[in-house]
């Protein structure tokens, strides 16, 4: 214990107060494999955070690792600006063959700086340039990153407060379900878009997540999403789906909007697109909206060649057949069953999300935090989300073996049981 605190003291002494996830997990991690992380004292934890969905295929996938080691050993390109490289070409080819063509998507691939926020910035700029309009419609509890343009579209007041300046040119509208069952928020948007005196400027884009990752795992119905898509089309606005967290299989299919009958004008990707946890940002844009001139949206790290190597392996290994998709569907059921058990322990608790992007709203951030802290003591890394951190959120790697998944879920159930028992004792 004392050696542990002496190592974490380095971080506490010198790392900025802006550090965040580390505060909930008092360990120094040194290795990881699959769905497990090991700390410097040799203790192994099951990872239900998975880099916040950046590690959908787990840590250090052996095939991606081998391809990357081969690439480095052969003095393959590490940094090539956005020049043509064999690694980039192979990734584009795999993405075209296994992702775009089967979906009849004719989108171009725009490589941007290696973060999700940069992909969102590029998407918003594309939509504004393509339409000549400035207003972007974004939704309550949406999270799109924290650079200034993306932050304007993000709902969370804490993050917005960090801007230190006004965040403009975004109109906030209620997401599906925000007003309960009484009001279909697509009706409200339609009425306002159709009313020249509603005060809403004609939008360049409507920007949405199909499942709101940071916003508390709110999932919009396919019908609502299809209506928003047709409203965008009717009003000359581009539909941007931010699939940074919900994409790459997290909700059960490669894109979170697969099988919804929509074809977004722009899709943003980051987090798990490299497959290996390497930074990579990608914008998919329909050719008619591919309006940025050469280097107009610039970036020194557009295209991380190491990420291209692992991203290609990820696509070929996991998305050339249905095997992973079937695994996700079975594992999603295991997760839902465990979360039902937890929900039954806590009055008013209910399930949220879709596929392997699931959680349970336990009603308070304090209780959710206690469940996560208790889980960590017992060897499980799991985090909260939502406006008040009231949702215990499971983002286990999609590849987590069923037995390990069940082990992690049992730790979570135990944590919920002991935390609720303690609460009951305290109340008596």
Ligand X SMILES: *Cc1c(COP(=O)(O)O)cnc(C)c1O
Contact call for residue 121 and ligand X (CB under 6 A):
no
Contact call for residue 316 and ligand X (CB under 6 A):
no
Q: How far apart are CB 214 and ligand X at their closest, in Å?
A: 6
Look at the alpha carbons of 75, 76, 81, 84 in this order and tell me if their dihedral is positive or negative: positive
Contact call for residue 143 and ligand X (CB under 6 A):
yes
Q: How far apart are CB 243 and ligand X at their closest, in Å?
A: 8
Among 144, 286, 302, 317, binds ligand X (CB under 6 A): 144
Q: What beta strand segments (E) does 333-412 contain?
A: 350-354, 357-361, 380-381, 383-385, 391-394
Decide whether 124 or 346 has the Cβ nearer to ligand X.
Answer: 124
Decide whether 139 or 342 has the Cβ nearer to ligand X.
Answer: 139
Look at the alpha carbons of 197, 202, 206, 212 in this order and tell me if their dihedral is positive or negative: negative
Q: Which two tokens stand for residue 168?
A: 């403009």
In angstroms, the CA 158 to CA 215 distance is 12
Q: How far apart are CB 374 and ligand X at their closest, in Å?
A: 26
Bridge partners, residue 379, by sequence: none
Among 94, 117, 137, 231, binds ligand X (CB under 6 A): 117
Write out the binding residues for ligand X, residues 5-24 only, by CB under 6 A: none
In angstroms, the CA 315 to CA 324 distance is 11
Contact call for residue 213 and ligand X (CB under 6 A):
yes
Contact call for residue 113 and ligand X (CB under 6 A):
no
In angstroms, the CA 285 to CA 304 distance is 19
Decide whether 58 or 116 has the Cβ nearer to ligand X.
Answer: 116
Contact call for residue 115 and ligand X (CB under 6 A):
yes
Q: How far apart are CB 138 and ligand X at their closest, in Å?
A: 11
Decide whether 36 or 243 has the Cβ nearer to ligand X.
Answer: 243
C-beta separation of 389 from 368 below 8 A: yes
Decide whether 193 or 229 has the Cβ nearer to ligand X.
Answer: 229
Decide whether 155 or 203 has the Cβ nearer to ligand X.
Answer: 155
Q: How far apart are CB 268 and ligand X at their closest, in Å?
A: 7
Q: Which stretch binds ligand X (CB under 6 A): 102-110, 143-151, 355-363, 387-395?
A: 143-151
Look at the alpha carbons of 154, 233, 228, 183 in this order and tell me if their dihedral is positive or negative: positive
In angstroms, the CA 332 to CA 36 distance is 19
| Per-residue three-class SS string for 117-156 | HHHHHHHHHHHHHHHCCCEEEEECCCCCCCCHHHHHHCCC
Contact call for residue 216 and ligand X (CB under 6 A):
no
* Short-list 58, 96, 51, 66, CA closest to 327: 58
Q: How far is CA 85 from CA 67, 303, 308, 388, in A?
A: 15, 10, 10, 45
In angstroms, the CA 116 to CA 133 distance is 23
348 three-state secondary structure: coil
What are the residues whose beta carbons fall under 8 Å from the beta carbon of 210, sequence distance 6 or more? 219, 220, 225, 241, 243, 246, 251, 256, 257, 260
Q: Which stretch binds ligand X (CB under 6 A): 164-172, 207-215, 326-334, 356-364?
A: 207-215
Contact call for residue 245 and ligand X (CB under 6 A):
yes
Q: Which stretch binds ligand X (CB under 6 A): 67-75, 223-231, 238-246, 320-328?
A: 238-246
Q: How far apart are CB 242 and ligand X at their closest, in Å?
A: 5
Q: Which stretch binds ligand X (CB under 6 A): 79-87, 241-249, 286-294, 360-368?
A: 241-249
Q: Which stretch binds ligand X (CB under 6 A): 116-124, 155-163, 371-379, 393-401?
A: 116-124
Among 36, 47, 219, 242, binds ligand X (CB under 6 A): 242
C-beta separation of 411 from 338 below 8 A: no
Contact call for residue 209 and ligand X (CB under 6 A):
yes
Contact call for residue 244 and ligand X (CB under 6 A):
yes
Say if strands 170-173 and 203-208 run parallel, antiparallel, or are unpaired.
Answer: unpaired
Contact call for residue 153 and ligand X (CB under 6 A):
no
Site size toward ligand X (CB under 6 A) is: 15
| Residue written as token pair 């396919």 | 222
Decide whether 59 or 317 has the Cβ nearer to ligand X.
Answer: 59
Decide whether 138 or 343 has the Cβ nearer to ligand X.
Answer: 138
Minimal CB distance residue for ligand X: 116
Distance of alpha carbon 212 from the chain centroid: 8
Among 269, 270, 332, 368, binds ligand X (CB under 6 A): 270
Q: Interface with ligand X by CB under 6 A: which residues?
A: 115-117, 120, 143-145, 209, 213-214, 242, 244-245, 270-271
């Amino acid at each position: 214990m004392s050696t542990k605190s002496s190592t974490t003291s380095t971080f506490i002494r010198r790392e900025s107060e802006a550090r965040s996830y580390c505060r909930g997990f008092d360990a120094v991690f040194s290795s990881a494999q699959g769905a497990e992380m090991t700390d410097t004292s040799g203790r192994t934890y099951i990872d239900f955070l998975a880099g916040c969905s950046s590690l959908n295929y787990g840590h250090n996938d052996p095939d991606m690792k081998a391809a990357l080691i081969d690439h480095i050993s052969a003095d393959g390109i590490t940094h090539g600006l956005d020049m043509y490289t064999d690694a980039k070409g192979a990734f584009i080819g795999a993405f075209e063959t296994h992702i775009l063509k089967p979906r009849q998507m004719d989108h171009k691939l725009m490589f941007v700086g290696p973060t999700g926020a940069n992909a969102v910035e590029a998407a918003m700029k594309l939509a504004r340039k393509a339409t000549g309009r400035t207003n972007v419609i974004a939704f309550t509890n949406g999270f799109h990153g924290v650079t200034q343009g993306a932050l304007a579209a993000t709902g969370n007041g804490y993050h917005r407060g960090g801007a230190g300046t006004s965040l403009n040119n975004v109109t906030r509208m209620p997401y599906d379900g925000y007003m309960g069952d009484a009001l279909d928020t697509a009706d409200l948007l339609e009425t306002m878009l159709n009313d020249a005196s509603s005060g809403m400027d004609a939008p360049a884009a409507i920007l949405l997540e199909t499942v709101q990752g940071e916003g508390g795992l709110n999932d919009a119905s396919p019908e609502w999403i299809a209506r928003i898509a047709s409203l965008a089309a009717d009003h000359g606005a581009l539909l941007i789906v931010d699939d940074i967290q919900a994409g790459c299989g997290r909700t059960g299919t490669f894109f979170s909007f697969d099988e919804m009958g929509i074809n977004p004008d722009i899709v943003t990707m980051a987090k798990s697109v490299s497959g290996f946890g390497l930074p990579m940002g990608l914008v998919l844009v329909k050719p008619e909206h591919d309006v940025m001139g050469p280097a107009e949206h610039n970036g020194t790290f557009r295209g991380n060649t190491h990420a291209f190597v692992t991203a290609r392996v990820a696509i070929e290994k996991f998305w050339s057949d249905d095997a992973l998709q079937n695994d996700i569907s079975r594992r999603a059921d295991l997760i839902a069953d465990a979360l039902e058990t937890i929900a039954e322990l806590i009055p008013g608790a209910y399930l949220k999300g879709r596929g392997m992007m699931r959680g349970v709203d336990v009603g308070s951030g304090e209780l959710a935090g206690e469940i996560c802290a208790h889980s960590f003591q017992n060897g499980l890394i799991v985090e909260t989300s939502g406006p008040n951190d009231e949702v215990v959120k499971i983002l286990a790697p999609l590849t987590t073996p069923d037995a390990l998944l069940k082990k992690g879920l049992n730790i979570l159930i135990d944590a919920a049981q002991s935390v609720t028992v303690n609460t009951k004792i305290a109340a008596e």
